[in-house]
Structure 1
Amino acid sequence: MTDGDRGQLILVTALAMATLFVVLSLLVNTTIYTGNVATRSDVSESTEVVNYRTEAVVAAERTVAYVNRHDNDSSAVGVDGAYRALNESLRRGVANWSDDAAAHGALSGTGTETRVVTVRNGSRVAQTDAARALSSPGGATEWTAVTGATGVRGPTMNLSTSALAPVADDGDDVSQLVADGAFRVNLTETDGENRSLFVYERNDGHVGVTVREPDGTVRTCRAPDDGRVTLDARAATLAGESCPALGAFATTDDPFDVTFVSSNAAAGTYSVAVDRRADGGAFPSLSRDAGTPFYTAAVYTADVTVIYRSPQTHYNATVEVPNAGA
């Protein structure tokens, strides 16, 4: 092979390698672009699924709250009839919302469905007179509202801050709260373990909440005094803001009683749901369906199946409705 032939071979090889590098570069760039587009598409689909699931669960939660307050009267149909009415109303309400949402989603090429799959019956204890102290129907300030429950949702409360007992510190000292007569709710288990939820006026003028757990752990949180204060033990919120202390209150291991103590130091409305039927004798101080306070048949828990379909996604999951019952 002459020197000229070698030079031509080197030149051809260099051109071939350059062409190969260009092709590889185009392939890599195409792969990166395709991956980015796919990722963006997946994120968009995931957002749509999450949004629909959230809306569906919120709609089911509101429907549970509505039927527990408006379709729970057993005076004419009996307790079994009240539970049938509750279940039918819940399933119908969720189905109506699902149909409306599906009609809207069809415009964008998606198919959706939400349906109730399981319902667990229980009872709801409530007071609806916003000006009344949280005493028993007979006026007792220490009284048992529920006996022998194994599950609880809530309580949710809307209290007048003017009725709360002022305490001498910021709520960390449980013995001081007791001495100052702060309102409290006790969950006392059959094995003797006790959880206490205190609501009071702190020494800095804020509304305070303290939860004492069975092992002695004390958790507190506070909210501004705006005349009234709302709390939700299951959602762990005080005045609409996160209150982790409340999250430790409604978790138990054994059957328990619910007792109100120093209930003259709180006034307002409340609702708490338990997993006892409304005909089981679990409410020694209360009348069913009427009175202040009272107990009624209620949906204790509900699960809904949420389905979302699009050309790119098929999502199907069963979700527990939060705050069902209370």
Structure 2
Amino acid sequence: MADVTPPPRPRRRSRCRSDRGRDDRGQLFLVAALTLAVLFVGLALLLNTAIYTENLATRNTDPGTDPSIGYRATAEESARELLRRENANNTGDPAKDYGYPTVSDWYVGSVGDWSNGTGLHAARHARVASVSVDATEHGTRIEQSNASRAFTNRSGAADWTLATGIDVRDVRFTVAHGSVVASNDSALANDPFRVELDNSTDTWKLYVYDDIDTGGDDVSVAVVNDTGFVGECTRPGSSPAAIDVSNGSVNGTACPALETVALGGDANVEDSDVSFVNADHAGGTYELTVSSGSGFTNFYDNDGTGPSQGSPFITAVVYDATVTITYESTDVYYRATIRLAPEEL
């Protein structure tokens, strides 16, 4: 009889522990990767939100203010430039015709003409724009333009006071190399030419000479204040040396010693007396601007004749001015009052 018993089933192979471990680690890696991806996406969204918020914060939310800001900047620069030009063009004696009242009137008129022109343009766009001069201060430019003359006054005095009780700025010299005496910064011997600025609180002395320690022709500038020697700047060369106290430079190169004189960065020394000492030991040209003060009598020659021809002279200038800038449109009203001084930049 045939055997119809079914064959035995093969035994199912059971999974070992090592296989189950590999599956668990794979699932952990997958979960970690998904978690990192979510974090990176979230971080990107956060950075984008921060950048967008910063852009919104820095945007001008009121476009109507842009024309007023632009007009203020243009009006201020134009009024400052007109002040420079009127001062430069005026050559009149402060005590005579074309003196201070004239240059002040010229400046007021020039600003008014500029305001009328720009105001007409603004009116075509339904806006009101103007700039007006509220006040001006009397000033005096002291100058010597004869490059072959010593720095003495019109009578030939070597020690003399240019002005007293004034504010001073825009101080510049062009000194001939052959006119200065030999000296050095350690002794300052041989009586070199010096400029003294004294405001009753502080004193600055600026010495100009040919430094014997450097050899060759040069012009050196040394600064001494109430505490002692500050420093020296030496610039060699055969051309005249341009000493600019206002911006603290010699021949266009920065002079740190001179920068200590420039109060506020513009050599605007207040309530001072300005004097030259040993002025026969230096020659060339110079220019400085002072506010209204005293000490001008008998030191200058504005006629340019006789034995004093070519000596220092004075002209009237506007030392500073106060102007008001106004701009009005349907969106904004802007008004500002500012002080302008041409060399305080």
* TM-score using structure 2 length: 0.63
Assess if the C-alpha contact under 8 Å between 1:235 and 1:323 holds in 2: no
Query: Cα–Cα, structure 1 residues 211 and 301, in superposed 2: closer, same or farther, change >3 Å?
Result: farther
**Percent same amino acid among aligned pairs?**
29
Among candidates 133, 136, 139, match of residue 119 of structure 1: 136
Aligned pairs for 1:296-315 (under 5 A) are 296-304=315-323
Matches within 5 A, 1:134-149: 134-146=151-163, 148-149=164-165
Query: Which of 169, 187, 191 is 1:153 aligned to?
Result: 169
**Stretch deviating more after TM superposition (24-33 or 115-124):** 24-33
Query: Offset at 1:269?
Result: 1.6
In the alignment, residue 321 of structure 1 is paired with which amino acid?
A
Q: How far, CA to CA, are the matches of 2:325 and 2:169 in structure 1?
A: 23
CA change 1:157–1:302 in 2 (3 A) is farther
1:136 maps to a residue whose letter is N
Code of the residue aligned with 2:251 in structure 1: it is A
Aligned equivalents of 1:241, 1:134: Cα separation in 2:
24
What is the CA distance between 1:28 and its match in structure 2? 5.8
Q: 1:64 is matched with which residue?
A: 83
Change (3 A) 1:113 1:30: farther
Residues 308 and 316 in structure 1, CA contact (< 8 A), matched pair in contact too: no
Q: Secondary structure of the equivalent of 1:234?
A: coil
- Equivalent residue for 1:218? 230
Equivalent position of 2:24 in the other structure: none
Give the 3-state SS of the residue equivalent to 1:150 in structure 2: strand
Give the deviation of 1:94 after TM superposition: 4.6
1:180 aligns with 2:190: yes
Contact 1:306 1:319 in 2 (8 A): no
Distance 1:321-1:253 versus aligned 2 partners, 3 A rule:
closer
| 1:274 match: secondary structure | strand
Q: What are the residue-to-residue correspondences of 1:166-205 with 2, within 5 Å?
A: 166-168=182-184, 171=185, 173=186, 176-177=187-188, 179-189=189-199, 194-202=203-211, 203-204=214-215, 205=217
TM-score scaled to structure 1, two decimals?
A: 0.66
Counterpart among 230, 239, 251 of residue 227 in structure 1: 239
Letter in 2 for 1:323: E
Could you report, residue by residue, the CA deviation over 1:178-228 in whole angstroms, capped at 9, with x for unpaired residues? x1332211124557x632111223325543222211232523334343502
Give the match for residue 338 of structure 2.
Answer: 318
1:149–1:274 contact (8 Å) kept in structure 2: no
Structure 1 pair 282–135 and aligned structure 2 pair: CA distance change class (3 A):
closer
Q: Is the 8 A contact 1:283 1:295 kept in 2?
A: no
| Structure 2 residue 150 is the aligned partner of structure 1 residue 133 | yes
Question: What per-residue deviation string (whole Å, max 9, x for no partner) do you get for residues 39-96 of structure 1?
Answer: 4879xx99xx79984x766655554343334324148xx5586222111222344556
- Structure 1 unaligned regions, length at least 5: 1-17
Contact 1:145–1:284 (Cα < 8 Å) also in 2: no
Partner Cα separation in structure 1 for residue 178 and residue 284 of structure 2: 11
